[in-house]
Structure 1
Amino acid sequence: MKARSAIFSVAALVLGLWGGTGGLPPAQGGDGELKFGYVLPETGQLAFLGPPQIESVKFAIRTINDAGGVLGRPVPAVVSGDEAGQEAVAAQSADRVLASGVDAVIGAAASGMSLAFIDRVTGAGVVQCSGSNTAPTFTDYDDGGYYFRTAPSDALQGPVLAKTVLEDGHDRVALLARADDYGRGLLESTRKALEAGGATVPVAETYDPKATNFDQAVQRVRNTGPDAVVVISFEEGAQILQGLIEAGLGPDRVGVYGADGLRSEELPSLVAPRDPARLAGMKGTAPASAANEEYVRQLKRFAPELKELQFAPQVFDCVTTIALAAEKAGTDDPGVFAKEIVGITRDGDKCTTFAACKALIQAGRDVDYDGVSGPLDFTDAGEPGQATIEVYTYDDKGQLRTVRTEVSSFRQ
């Protein structure tokens, strides 16, 4: 469990007596205006995940402002920063965003990028929330109670990925993952679940994601004679999949599986531009969102150029949860409202929009915000205790399809 201070400030106690509603002077450290910044991929390996997350931040802020803002004031335009797929650039972007005086930082998209600057953000007493960090590392990370995520840990995704492989009848499974916290964490949780299900894992190897050639890794996988291969990667996975196909380990020969880092409508054309159907039959898993057609419709109306929507709902919920916590605390001081974030997602009156939850808070009620990504129900570690995981596939035309979704929980 993450370290969270049990000592509340005097301001927080006083606000608690008033039901946590707005209208009181901001606590020490707050200026009455809730300011957001983001560090998200505008360029780099995960640039395809940038637009849905960035636009969802902006859409959430507009939704909040349409409902009267936070603490009686509109939320200003978000301060932008590019994580760029490079730790040094992400850290520099975080420094610039922090220097603008934000109360909360949304991001990064990649777990490794968040780890490059989490100490900067939480050490400054600023809240950080990611909608797509899935590395198990964050569950126990000593962040002082300032880091949160609306994406589930890969400790929940791994068992579903393994179950998918096993249900397809495979029992000799090779694992290949990028050598970072995301790759290692999902590799380990998947390996444990595969072996618990009776499968043999002849190789569970990590590779340097900055490498330009993955032939040796592919050859080591081929030499083990697997009947299925799991690839845990980002953009570089397209090159790895090309290598597997050339080595006779394509989806027409063995089971080929990916995870959220490879879930993209563009993947088949990246792997085989002239024949996207070469990827037909590949499957994978990713954190899913609730079937929220209204949110999708409104987001696309707000940002009509959007094609990819992955993790957009989770980011919307980051922004909304933070805004409701500030409303509940009666201040934009992160040192105070951070303590309200977990409670906003559980053990109160159900509500599904910022406006509805805000009205309940102003009436002195505790709220349980069920977001556009589904129920959040944060654990004390500031993350979902259960997750809906999507199983996806690519059909014979190279089109991305959802096979099913299922719930994975730490309580199972």
Structure 2
Amino acid sequence: MKASVRRSAIFAGAAALLVAAVGVPGGAQAVAPAGEEDGELKFGYVLPETGQLAFLGPPQIESLKFAIQTMNDAGGVLGKPVPAVVSGDEAGQEAVAAQSADRVLAAGVDTIIGAAASGMSLAFIDRVTGAGVVQCSGSNTAPTFTDYDDGGFYFRTAPSDVLQAPVLADVIRGDGHDRVALIGRADDYGRGLLESTEKELEDDGATVALAETYDPKATNFDQIVQKVKDSRPEAVVVIAFEEGAQVLQALIEAGLGPDRVGVYGADGLRSEELPSLVAPGNPQRLAGMKGTAPASATNAQYVKDLKKFAPDLKELQFAPQVFDCAMTVALAAEQAKSDNPEKFAEEMVGITKDGEKCNTFAACKELIADGRDIDYDGVSGPLDFTDDGEPGRATIEVYAYDDQGKLQTVRTEESTAQE
């Protein structure tokens, strides 16, 4: 009952915000409170339509819309078509992301997909989960969320950086580097992956010469780059988002480019556009840089279908994980026979493991209708959720920029959570 009380209270404030924003008389009565059971599963999102992670918006947003079309092509959820998703922009600003979450909640959604950035999710997770609404992110990787007090309403299909770090460390060590400098943005994502990678490297016998964070809003990164240079590394790891282009520029100017030392990134830097941002007109300057990211293009049929649905898509980063967020929510609702988040949240973990394997919404839905337990294997790979509502295993891509500065997938590796 406590969750219902919180939900009503938060909805009242969010609905007032919506009425003020759109000027609809009686708007608070025009929509059902967020998470209220009405037999119709309603999705919303808070994803980057603008801001420093805007390049991650289109693949996630289009993949969510494609997931909803897939559900509706299979007869909808709970016997009803899934309505159009309610949109919200995280915009790379905590205040804007929180306001967007309020507006999406006010539309009466049962689940919110997003945010893309861990820091943006932390700006509104308490609003969403406190309202008794399920939140699922396809790209939050900060370890912070594993034991976050979310009342059982937060989930993610992106693996924790605790799963990415061992692969990143193995790539660095496999290239023969013993002395490594680590720098990362001073937020939950940057600190989490930096600390996890530092531990993996040291456990494997490497020397971590520097492990330091920087202000991602800085306009000049010469100070942190000087610290890297002073540490005399054989390899440098940059854990960054868009500002990473400036950091890499500064490293190259300081004689620490990929032609001189090993240079590595992670999911926040995996972009086909990165070389042209770092060195306009000379993308070859990034040749040899490597990195890791949750795999985004391992399911050929899904990639083909998504590109048919959204032919203008260029990036696919985290698109499969968002698709799996939506599918897991929908299948949990089918399993619970309810669109009430308090009920279907309890089914989110169970449908991803220890049952009869299925990998499409239609097939899984049919098994559920026959009263059988399912194990949904997603387009991003087997999910096998832990009790914390996150993947217990992950497929991690190793990427590299070739001698022309073009992004290439080198290989993928499986990573499993340690018991």
What TM-score comes out, normalization by structure 2 length? 0.91
Equivalent residue for 2:308, pick from 298, 301, 312: 301
Output one character per residue of 1:335-371: Cα deviation in whole Å (capped at 9) or x when no partner.
Answer: 0010001011011111111100101111111111101
Give the distance between the partners of 1:155 and 1:374, measured in 2 at CA. 17
Which residue is equivalent to 1:86? 93
Query: Within the alignment, does 1:142 sit opposite 2:149 as a pair?
Result: yes
Give the distance between the partners of 1:136 and 1:106, measured in 2 at CA. 18
Which residue is equivalent to 2:248? 241
Q: Is the 1:326–1:332 Cα contact (8 Å) retained in structure 2?
A: yes
Give the gaps of 5 or more residues in structure 2.
4-34
Query: Within the alignment, does 1:279 sit opposite 2:282 as a pair?
Result: no
Higher relative contact order (CA 8 A, sep 6+): 1
Give the distance between the partners of 2:244 and 2:193, measured in 1 at CA. 15
Q: Is the 1:289–1:374 Cα contact (8 Å) retained in structure 2?
A: no
Q: Is the 1:290–1:374 Cα contact (8 Å) retained in structure 2?
A: no
Query: Within the alignment, does 1:373 sit opposite 2:380 as a pair?
Result: yes
What is the CA distance between 1:402 and its match in structure 2? 1.1
Q: Is the 2:353–2:384 Cα contact (8 Å) retained in structure 1?
A: yes
Which residue is equivalent to 1:41? 48
What is the CA distance between 1:79 and its match in structure 2? 0.2
Which residue is equivalent to 2:12? none
Q: Is the 2:71–2:361 Cα contact (8 Å) retained in structure 1?
A: yes
Give the gaps of 5 or more residues in structure 1.
6-27
Which residue is equivalent to 2:225? 218
The one-letter code sitting in structure 1 at the alignment partner of 2:116 is A
What is the CA distance between 1:289 and its match in structure 2? 4.0
Higher mean displacement: 134-143 or 287-296? 287-296
The alignment of Structure 1 onto Structure 2 pairs a total of residues equal to 386
What is the CA distance between 1:163 and its match in structure 2? 1.0
Inter-CA distance 290–50: structure 2 relative to 1 (3 Å threshold): closer
Alignment of 1:5-404 (within 5 A): 29-289=36-296, 291-404=298-411
The one-letter code sitting in structure 2 at the alignment partner of 1:408 is S
Q: Is the 2:397–2:409 Cα contact (8 Å) retained in structure 1?
A: yes
Q: Is the 1:290–1:372 Cα contact (8 Å) retained in structure 2?
A: no
The one-letter code sitting in structure 1 at the alignment partner of 2:321 is Q
Output one character per residue of 1:101-153: Cα deviation in whole Å (capped at 9) or x when no partner.
Answer: 00000000000000000000000000000000000000000000000000000
SS at match of 2:350: helix
Give the distance between the partners of 1:127 and 1:156, measured in 2 at CA. 24
Give the distance between the partners of 1:62 and 1:159, measured in 2 at CA. 36
Q: Is the 2:47–2:57 Cα contact (8 Å) retained in structure 1?
A: yes
SS at match of 2:410: strand
What TM-score comes out, normalization by structure 1 length? 0.92
Q: Is the 2:194–2:211 Cα contact (8 Å) retained in structure 1?
A: yes
Q: Alignment identity in percent?
A: 80
Give the distance between the partners of 2:190 and 2:339, measured in 1 at CA. 35
Q: Is the 1:390–1:405 Cα contact (8 Å) retained in structure 2?
A: yes
Which residue is equivalent to 1:21? none
What is the CA distance between 1:290 and its match in structure 2? 6.4
What is the CA distance between 1:231 and its match in structure 2? 0.1
Which residue is equivalent to 2:25? none
SS at match of 2:68: helix
The one-letter code sitting in structure 1 at the alignment partner of 2:355 is G
SS at match of 2:122: helix
The one-letter code sitting in structure 2 at the alignment partner of 1:325 is A
Give the distance between the partners of 2:297 and 2:159, measured in 1 at CA. 14
SS at match of 1:201: strand
SS at match of 1:252: coil
Output one character per residue of 1:57-78: Cα deviation in whole Å (capped at 9) or x when no partner.
Answer: 0000000001000111000000
Q: Is the 2:36–2:110 Cα contact (8 Å) retained in structure 1?
A: no
Q: CA RMSD in A?
A: 1.1
